[in-house]
Structure 1
Amino acid sequence: MTTPTGERADLLDALANARNFLRLTTQNLTDEQATQRTTASELTLAGLIKHVDGAEAGWAHFIQHGQEVMTWDEEAGETWTDTFTPKPGETLAALLARYTETAQRTDALIATLPTLDVAHPLPEAPWFEKGSWTARRVITHLIAETAQHAGHADIIRESLDGQKSMG
């Protein structure tokens, strides 16, 4: 695989930077600390890693296959909130390893797509406008979502033990 240049390199760098800040918030934590609620929010550091990993994997599949892959298993009782909740036995190390694998697959997809203009209709949901998103738009959304959750994680981590990753 050749090294991306131009727009793709810029997008990959921005996504890697946001991922790095998110990962930094979990540095040197135990599983117990990573699943501890430290604010009024239900969010935990492990839950944010799980959610961002799942969201990135879902959006990468969307780029390749369209809206039909943007679902969770409602028949098995899975809900949107479950995307933020580690299951029993899901360790922080395992969640981070899975996130690393997802990031590698996403980066390879971005680097090798024939065009960033490939587009699919968005799934019907109250939080999506009507229309389609290109791969480029999905990637910018991933950057924004990862950066936003890195900010959430930084607040959670500072509330946990005073450690700051950003600032």
Structure 2
Amino acid sequence: MVDAKALLHEQLREQRDAVVRTLDGLSEYDTRRPLTATGTSLLGLVKHLATWEARYLGEVFDRPFPGALPRWDDPAARGADLWATEDESRADVLGRYRAVWAHGDATVEALPLDAPGFVPWWPRPHVTLADVLAHRVVETSRHAGHADILREQLDGTTSSAGVREPGFWEARWERIERAAAHFR
């Protein structure tokens, strides 16, 4: 029989690691600079994930994370979790994310999957740990994919591209472009 809690928890851990790996080898500037029209950055994704995991695996189960969190219902603070300020180093943001991991892991380990929680910003706010853990896996996976694409824009590196012979990606890009150009 599959242990659903252990499986979900392991998937969450794997996706957390994938997100953090996208920062490996980059300068402080490259981790924090906006890479999309909306200002998305790699370090901003990490900060965002830390903020919301602290909330979901903390206050939702009446186990608040010990650090300060921006209020989810404060319009003035909306979006502040999506970028790193001049006063927040990469080490600060990563350290906070790792502290959130430890806090979230303790919540997952302490509670059964059917433990009740309350998410006031959801339309159906009465939830279980299973609901929230599945949500965190999906959300962290989504942002891991975003981070892979952002990293690829910077230097062609992704967590899943693997080592290929020289010219492989250029040849693939050309083939895909030729196929797309057929429809101009």
TM (norm. structure 2) is 0.76
User: How many percent of aligned residue pairs carry the same amino acid?
Assistant: 30
Letter in 2 for 1:6: D
Correspondent of 1:97 among 92, 95, 103: 95
C-alpha distance in 2 between matches for 1:61 and 1:107: 10
C-alpha distance in 2 between matches for 1:98 and 1:107: 14
C-alpha distance in 2 between matches for 1:40 and 1:12: 33
The reply on whether 1:146 has 2:140 as its aligned counterpart is yes
Match in the other structure for 2:154 = 160
Which structure is richer in relative contact order (CA contacts within 8 A, separation 6 or more)? 1
C-alpha distance in 2 between matches for 1:84 and 1:96: 14
Deviations 1:63-96 (A, max 9, x none): 4229xx993473xx74221110212221112211
**Residue ranges of structure 1 left out of the alignment (5+ in a row):** none
Q: Secondary structure at the match of 1:95?
A: helix
Q: Secondary structure at the match of 2:127?
A: strand
Q: Is the 1:34–1:44 Cα contact (8 Å) retained in structure 2?
A: yes
Larger Rg: 2
Q: Secondary structure at the match of 1:133?
A: strand
Q: Is the 1:72–1:78 Cα contact (8 Å) retained in structure 2?
A: no
**Residue ranges of structure 2 left out of the alignment (5+ in a row):** 64-68, 162-184
Letter in 2 for 1:107: D
Match in the other structure for 1:53 = 50
The count of aligned residue pairs is: 155
TM (norm. structure 1) is 0.83
Letter in 2 for 1:110: V
Equivalent positions of 1:13-162 (< 5 A) are 13-65=10-62, 71-72=71-72, 74=74, 78-113=76-111, 115-124=112-121, 128-162=122-156
